[in-house]
Chain A
Amino acid sequence: MIEIRNVSKFFGAFQVLKDCNASIARGEVVVICGPSGSGKSTFIKTVNGLETIDSGEIVVGNFRLAPGVTNLATLRRTVGMVFQNFELFPHLTVLSNVTIAQTKVLRRPKAEAEEKARALLARVGLSAHLSKHPAQLSGGQQQRVAIARALALDPDVMLFDEPTSALDPEMVNEVLDVMTSLAKQGMTMVCVTHEMGFARGVANRVFFMDGGEIVETADAATFFDDPKSERAKAFLAKILKH
């Protein structure tokens, strides 16, 4: 589903991504973890072209992304994204947030788009809030709307960029529950997250990044029980101490 080959990226002289290679199968759930500043967010954003790459190529489904490829409409339709800070549209209602891309990008008729939006919002447990504005919802609710908004375009892949990092602790689980059920339904997911419980319980594989490199890829159980690299060991020792 996703092939990442020799991807490098620079911010000025600083190399954020160093020759990254990875392959993600359809239906696979991958968690990317690593210390802050390791390039996780940049990496995930290259997959839908929010960050450009300086060399290498990324293939998502039938779409090939390489340096200089600018028409990303097809890619964006294939890949949904959920942001750390939700980024819902504050001037639109919850329902409109989930319909707008359907009507403007996919040109679905309004009634059909709304029906789809209602179904998705029911799925994430927000049927009671359709006509509210995002600011009237809790962080966890907002993030669930954001997930519904991304799903509305029927993506083949969902990217999650630290979806629970901006949430109060008691709201983390409601978002993780939605992500877990999505994973169970066979969605291909790439998640940058510090939720190690989710990584262990739901992810098929873990990519460990450090210093712009994918240092280690392993299935989830192996990664947590028996990490190979010293850097991953040191990282896990730090985050799993308490």
Chain B
Amino acid sequence: MDQSERREHAAQEAAEWMLRLQDQNTTRAQRAEYVRWLRESPLHVAEMLRITHVHSALAHFPYWNEIAPLDVSFPPVSTLELPRATNRRGADMSKPRRSAWFWPAGVTAVFVVVSLVLTYMAHLGPQTIRTGAGERREVTLVDGSVVRISPKTTLLVRFTEQERWVRLSRGDAVFRVAKDRVKPFLVETDHARVRAVGTQFGVEYQGNVVIVTVEEGRVAVTQPATGLAPLAQALPQIEVSLGADQQIVVPQAGPMGSIRKVDSRRELSWADGRLVFEQDPVAEVVQRFNRFNRVQIQIRDPKLAARPVSAVFDASDPEAFIAFLESVANVRVTRSSSDVIVITSEGPT
């Protein structure tokens, strides 16, 4: 056993002791056994302190209301072990998982059995994926579909025997959908519903509109009828079919825009953390940067805001864009706080 296996093993034992000692009626013999175990190794003491640390953190965890309860009313699901995240950039995600490889065989076997039982028996609820500011993530879902998720995005994933269902409640994501003719892949937002079978497309929130961009294959976009618009409900639901390099803007209310021909690679480059601009106004560039970063840029000069920009930036590096602005225009940069950068013109030029 190497150090990390020993540690895992000690942690399991410590957790077991933790539970046993919480029971009111431990016998003296059990407690003596526990003390003997502690005296066996400093590692045992250390892992006991860690498990206690976890216990304390859980006991004082303030966000339980954000943890979705297991939805037992939901019909059993055929797929799953849950959409297990594989994170390309931030490596922390998969660590607790990988540690399973180092558990003693018996424990791992139990874990595998539990997982299998889970897979076939359990009623599994939706899985929430949430990214913070500046956090990009790539997640492989159980069906093999890959989702690239932008910062500040919330996704709810629920796979059933009939469909693969994803709710995007805020932010942007690009979906590379694994082919499955039987189970359509549905992405729902507040005011657009996208159905795909096997394709790659992006869905993004931009203020009040949702933009759907298709890179390959075809998707169908509909506007779910809302209770707010009884008139709209009376009208037949319009389904728009989008093909490769096509884009549509779906507003919160009112009819969908018309289909636009776009360079989808460029339009979806945000998923790779790149922002590509071609003759786009500074205002749009700023808007994009602001969505990707905690630091917010404000442009106070309408002329500057309208100036076209052609460049490629790293989405997480607004400073590069500011340096770019400083090099091409006569601007004054004011950092009014650590989070806000105000850009004004340096007088008439």
Partners in one complex: no
Name B residues whose Cβ lies closer than 8 Å to a Cβ of A: none
